[in-house]
Amino acid sequence: MDSQYELLNKIAEKQQEIASDWATYWTEFSSFSTWGFWFDVVMFALPLLLLYFKLDRTRAFQIGFFGFNVHVWFGYFDTFGTVQGYWTYPYQISSYLPNSLGMDASLVPVLFMLLYQWVTNTNRNYYVYSLLLGALLSFVLKPIFVSINLFKFYMGANYFHLFLTYIVIIVLSKLITDLFLHFQKESSSKVS
């Protein structure tokens, strides 16, 4: 039992040391005085502003629920990748989050929300267009981010791995949203 808590204490100490290193790194290389920090701020603010003007308010809850799914799943995958050392973001809004807040909480969810809104309003195939958007983000946007030092790979991770995560996120987000829509319809039909 003692060895369990010794190991747990050792892990906690290492995590505290890593958190301290990130705070130092952020202060010296990623804070308010860097263009990358402000790029992430803009990448966070602009998509939300766009969503404010483009959101179909008659379906705001459904589209928002879908977007929240994308945000959560993308955040989990992105955190996994950064914590495991597969990739990192040299510039961040905060040293307390290992990810790109602009990507995880705004750009990616908003793009998928607007796509979801469009495909459901026009009876287009969600999976085809979502895969195209995932490919665009994985094979066009991320290489641009790598070239301007906004994203960095480690340990053999690559763009195809990112694309695979988008496939999982696309499927999970749609299935969960559809499941809750089914629950809503089912409960409405029982009331009627």
pLDDT tens digits in sequence order for the chain, 192 residues long: 689 999 999 999 999 999 999 999 999 999 999 999 999 999 999 999 999 999 999 999 999 999 999 999 999 999 999 999 999 999 999 888 768 899 999 999 999 999 999 999 999 999 999 999 999 999 999 999 999 999 999 999 999 999 999 999 999 999 999 999 999 988 887 776
Helices (H), 84-124: 101-102, 108-122
Provide the token pair at 44.
């966070």
Residues 6+ apart with CB under 8 A from 75: 99, 104, 105
Provide the token pair at 173.
């987000």
Cα dist from 158 to 21, 94, 138, 162, whole Å: 25, 25, 9, 7
- pLDDT on residue 2: 80
Q: What one-letter code names the amino acid at 34?
A: T
Contact 26, 95 (CB under 8 A): yes
Q: Which of 129, 145, 179 is nearest to 39 (CA)?
A: 145
- pLDDT on residue 192: 61
From start to end of the chain, where are the E strands? 87-88, 152-153
Provide the token pair at 59.
């379906």
C-alpha distance across the termini of the chain, in Å: 58
Pairwise CA distance, residues 140 & 88, whole Å:
18
Beta bridge partners of 152: 88
Contact 125, 119 (CB under 8 A): yes
- pLDDT on residue 132: 98
